[in-house]
Structure 1
């Protein structure tokens, strides 16, 4: 084997003399990738590191040309993802653990950029005409230069120099980075963003194991926990069973969820990973990888004993939040800080005192957030959604609510409504949600008149999507992820997606790891997003959301903390305590209150804890701040 590896290294090295970056950049990157693997297998790790680094530089210049709806190009993007994974492995073997984190981040960040700026997609984005024109012009010049070189080579002319082409590619890469504002994040930036009470746990799945990277202010380098190969096999089998159960037998899935989460905690070795987090850390940011994005990691039990009811969120009393990557977490942190600075009334005591006297505004920690925009039950088939939105909205002034038939896609585009939507501090969607695994950009929040059944025989097929055996949705009457990418939400503190499956992402496509409704709202400018990981129950969701907003109003405006506090209360509260809580809800009208009470009394006895099981409280997670 050793001799064969040396022969392979010699052959790939020779091939690079022909496959130069200037002449054949695609082949150059592929050959470097294979050479790096050979070096890695031969344990010549320094050479592997240098080779993978060079391959990544070439691949990043080419990204604008390899990503589109074309399957072969998507496959190429997935190959580049393997390149980053190899680089991370080599960094870890060379004890460059902080660089390993940087390459993980570089991969994730670029994958989001790929979707946003694929040639077919970027013209639809809400970017300035100047930038849009520059990008289109560059793309055109690159294609023209490629055609010129191809023609020169066919004619055996000498003028096939690729310097100009590579300069154009580099200019395009820089422009895309400027437009989206995602400069590669350095490890020291991540480290310095953390305070002494916060830890990051970043998961990463390799070919033969998975690892958890624990980043805190207490150590300069990350702590790293590594699984055994059999753990990865168990995790893959568990995930397959979980997804099959959820998609085919939801009733049984609900019944089995608690046991499934126990199994997952054991496979992930959660107690071992948490033992590496300093006791001083009271808050954690979880950064999943691949299919782990679909799972409620905050609800993993800390003990396998049935009598124990301690979950991961109990270990962090100041909150558990999620982020797609450290890069996007930095974006939401900066946005939250900007909003806090602009609305901090410490320099204006008179205005702050005035706000405190106004019970129709939410005031906490010296901050005032007032403007709520809500979508309420547009499909008119969610029994408790009206109670949820109207109770929550009572605390806000001004508020703009689109109820039932009013909540149309056309209404959102009308100037007055569009302005209110754009300037809202708080966005609340209480409706149906849908995630499209085949075309993630067509995932949607359903608005009025979006449900079509049956579909006309001559209907335009690209406009409609079948979501069940007898139901199709009209995408033009929905708020799709494609639409959300066009939004600008400069003042948005929180987007709450009180709907089914709004936190799902396309885990199967390794080139676009985190593409879903939350990333769309992050891109639009939201500091925090609350979304769901499964089809949630209308009644329990309404009560949980009302308690969540109550916490935001009276306890804290820290979104993860307020949500976790609501979840902990919700799982422990008895029927009797719920009825007492309802009696004190002055912002819920008497008729609605009676309806909720009847539902509680119909299903439960006074000492029962109706929402004890994770299926009722664990589906929602806070992403961002």
Structure 2
């Protein structure tokens, strides 16, 4: 009942308490001391989590039961259980309402430290990670920055020890998730301690750790190795890749081995790969460097532009706004936002915490996507986008904009935006304010490129040095489900910009998954005009819908696509830019990073379900700017978004007339020709560019 998912949570916990008390009628201390102590500990846990009753009373009852359990669970007789209960008792004291706050905090710290005497990194790294994380969070909430930093450093060290023993993709993702938010919090501690450059490096170290490792392996410079070493590296890397690909297959696929066997095989092959990499690193100092140093990060900032990296925590926020050309990061490059917290961002996304049900951004979007949506639901979603992007300006992007102006960035200057945490779902580029009675957005002033991390951006820049990515050659996947009215128009517009010898189009039923996977290699441009979706339960099952309603999933993109010549992947489909914000928000696990991992240099994707007609117009303008005028993708996307937003019905009708589409009559006749049909950010702001 304590862990039950179904039913009312409050009722389940009260039932758990009832059954624990009944068990204690038999599990007496005299007859069954160990079971008595275990049940007391579990009963205390239930009281700690209890929803009903007075919170102060529940916590005090939890403390009482933990102390009783410790009468049997002594350090000498049961050291592991003793440490577990000490950890739990510390958590109860940190939450205690009654008594003097300072004394409760001191008692919590004392019990955590006692638990750590047993929970060493050598014997119990996962338990040590848990206790140090709890202790760090306590110090963080008390604004004891130095103590919190030390605790988080220890947590990260223990987490790395656990991660080193995780070999399956699921296990590694889970372990990364255990410490994902601690990098941001420790970076905030460093910032509060005036260690600004270390704060930047720590924030970067916590981003896309799984992707960083995958990119480092995929793009490792093997030319510096001997022929034998190069072959060993290729074989070791391929062995891990093949096992990971098999692990991603559904368990009912013929010939797929069991998870247990694959896990053991992966353990051995990954260990072999790690040993080989460590050996090569000891011989070649420049081989697969771990992360980026400050100089490398600063070197990524585009000329005339800036790097913008938000840092949002439960105790306040900051934004690093670093211009091109600096060789150090000073306090003047930090915008402190002490009043902005994670709770504020969560309220924007989910609605007020004290309101039952999902509200805010995600609630409105969920209702919009519901097949039974009402007219009000349809209208509410664009309204929420407008409201939320206005709030984003006030809470975050407005202060950033003022700092960029102070730095004298010119209009349309390039800005690299490295989102953090929950911000990854939101269109920061579309945040707006009223100016001279008109709305002016962030991209009216600057050109935005999103980057999951500095490391991934560095890899993308390196890939663009490859001559094989320069000549335009297109694979277009157009309307494979044959139910997107405007996709064929979009496809023709894109195809017209490539020489016939340099393009291949898979339309309708011919765009099967097997054919697409076979045809992508060797192309510099991949364009998908189709349905897409995000899987909230398992992000790796998110994907693109191809012919026969087969799904090209994120797992298959990572495992099965070779995009070592791909300059740009355009995902003109719904929800292709959404990423996992629940378990590992700073990993940015989603289709954009999947295509980057498969080898692409840049990806255009979407943050929600997009409008078919508006998308076809935006994409047409984007490609014309990029390919006909030679404008880089980030600038071309900005141009397309601003054009679509400001175009009148008459102008849009002319565009459709130029491609001989029946929508011409609809746009000109069904409204005032001077109206701007697509001003709402719903129509244009979903699109983002990631990479180079």
Helix, strand or coil at the partner of 2:571: strand
Q: Which structure is larger by alpha-carbon Rg, 1 or 2?
A: 2
Distance 1:19 1:265 in 2: 42
CA contact (8 A) 1:62 1:169 kept: no
Residue 293 in 1 paired to residue 424 in 2?
A: yes
Q: Does 2:529 correspond to 1:430?
A: yes
Q: Is the 8 A contact 1:141 1:168 kept in 2?
A: no
* Counterparts of residues 399-548 of structure 1 (less than 5 Å): 399-413=503-517, 418=518, 420-450=519-549, 477-486=550-559, 487-510=561-584, 513-548=587-622
* Structure 2 CA distance for aligned equivalents of residues 51 and 26 of structure 1: 14
Distance across 2 between alignment mates of 1:448 and 1:85? 42
Q: Deviations over 1:558-582 (max 9, x none)?
A: 1010111111112122233334455
Query: For residue 483 of structure 2, what is the aligned residue in structure 1?
Result: 381
Matched-pair contact (CA < 8 Å) for 2:569–2:600: yes
Distance 1:141 1:16 in 2: 34
The CA distance in 2 between the partners of 1:581 and 1:539, in whole Å, is: 12
Aligned residue for 1:309, secondary structure, equals strand
> In structure 1, how many angstroms separate the alpha carbons of the residues matched to 2:280 and 2:591?
21
Distance 1:173 1:274 in 2: 43
Pair 396,525 (structure 1): closer, same or farther in 2 beyond 3 Å: same
Q: Superposition pairs for residues 220-231 of structure 1, below 5 Å?
A: 220-221=328-329, 223-229=333-339
TM-score relative to the length of structure 2:
0.68
In the alignment, is the contact (CA less than 8 A) between 1:26 and 1:62 conserved in 2?
yes
Distance 1:374 1:521 in 2: 16
Match of 2:347 in 1: 237
Shift of 1:246: 1.3
1:173-252 equivalences under 5 Å are 183-217=290-324, 219=326, 220-221=328-329, 223-229=333-339, 232-240=342-350, 241-249=360-368, 250-252=377-379
Determine if contact 2:494/2:620 at 8 Å carries over to the other structure.
yes
- Pairwise CA distance, 1:270: 2.5
Secondary structure, in 3 states, of the residue corresponding to 2:604?
strand
Tell me the equivalent position of 1:358: none
Deviations 1:417-474 (A, max 9, x none): x2x4111110000000011011100001000111xxxxxxxxxxxxxxxxxxxxxxxx
CA distance in 1, matches of 2:266, 2:525: 43
Task: State the 1:107 CA deviation.
Answer: 1.5
2: CA distance, partners of 1:293 / 1:230: 16
Which residue of 2 is the match for residue 274 of structure 1? 401
| Contact 1:385–1:538 (8 Å) recurs in 2 | yes
Number of residues paired by the alignment?
Answer: 526
Among residues 187, 195, 208, which one is paired with 1:88 in the alignment?
187
Change (3 A) 1:387 1:488: same
Partner residue in 2 for 1:348: none
Q: Which runs of 5+ in 2 are unaligned?
A: 1-100, 217-232, 244-260, 351-359, 369-376
Deviation track 1:79-118 (CA, whole Å, cap 9, x = no partner) reads 322432332232112211221222222222225469999x
After TM superposition, give the deviation of residue 404 of structure 1 in Å: 0.1
Q: Is the 8 A contact 2:361 2:385 kept in 1?
A: no
Q: Distance in 2 between matches of 1:553 and 1:169?
A: 41
Q: Of the candidates 228, 232, 237, which is equivalent to residue 131 of structure 1?
A: 237
- Does 1 or 2 have the higher relative contact order (CA < 8 Å, sep 6+)? 1
User: 1:375/1:182 Cα in 2 relative to 1: closer, same or farther (>3 Å)?
Assistant: farther
Q: Does 1:568 align with 2:642?
A: yes
**Contact map agreement 2:397 2:428 (CA 8 A) in 1:** no
CA contact (8 A) 2:155 2:179 kept: no
8 Å CA contact retained: 1:209, 1:227: yes
- Of 322, 326, 329, the match for 2:457: 329
Measure how far apart 1:226 and its partner are: 2.9
Work out whether residues 142 and 169 of structure 1, in 8 Å CA contact, stay in contact via their aligned partners in 2. no
Equivalent residue number for residue 665 of structure 2 = 598
State how far apart, in whole Å, the 2-side matches of 1:169 and 1:36 are: 34
Contact 1:112 1:512 in 2 (8 A): no
Aligned-residue offset at 1:257: 4.0
CA displacement at 1:235 relative to structure 2: 3.3
Shift of 1:411: 2.0
Q: Which residue of 1 aligns with 2:122?
A: 22
1:310 equivalent in alignment to 2:444: no
Conserved? CA contact 1:66–1:77, under 8 Å: no
Following superposition, the deviation at residue 530 of structure 1 comes to 0.7
| CA contact 1:77–1:511 (8 Å) conserved in 2 | no
Alpha-carbon distance in structure 2 between the residues aligned to 1:505 and 1:431:
19
- The C-alpha deviation readout for 1:516-561, integer Å capped at 9, x for no partner, is 1101001011111111111111111111111111111222341010
Distance 1:86 1:266, change over 3 A: closer
| Range that drifts further, 42-51 or 611-620 | 42-51
Q: 1:599 offset after TM fit, Å?
A: 3.1
Provide the TM-score with structure 1 as the length reference.
0.75
Match of 1:55 in 2: 155
Q: Give the drift of 1:298.
A: 1.2
Q: CA deviation at 1:27?
A: 3.2
Alignment pair present for 1:578 and 2:652: yes
Q: CA deviation at 1:53?
A: 2.6
When residues 299 and 48 of structure 1 are mapped into structure 2, their CA distance, relative to the original with a 3 A threshold, is closer
Q: Tell me how far 1:507 sits from its aligned partner.
A: 1.4
Q: Is the 8 A contact 2:152 2:182 kept in 1?
A: yes
What are the residue-to-residue correspondences of 1:350-365 with 2, within 5 Å? none
- Cα deviation code 1:355-399 (max 9, x no counterpart): xxxxxxxxxxxxx53210010100000111111101210221211
Q: 1:7-42, CA deviations, whole angstroms, 9 ceiling, x for partnerless residues?
A: 665665565554333233333434444555566678
- Note the residue ranges of structure 1 that are not aligned, 5 or more in a row: 118-126, 145-166, 344-367, 451-476
Deviation of 1:183 after TM superposition, in Å, equals 3.0
Q: Which has the higher mean CA deviation after the structures are superposed, 1-10 or 441-450?
A: 1-10
CA contact (8 A) 1:245 1:252 kept: no
Conserved 8 A contact 1:49-1:91:
yes
Q: Is the 8 A contact 1:481 1:520 kept in 2?
A: yes
Contact 1:261–1:301 (8 Å) recurs in 2: no
CA RMSD of aligned residues (A): 3.6
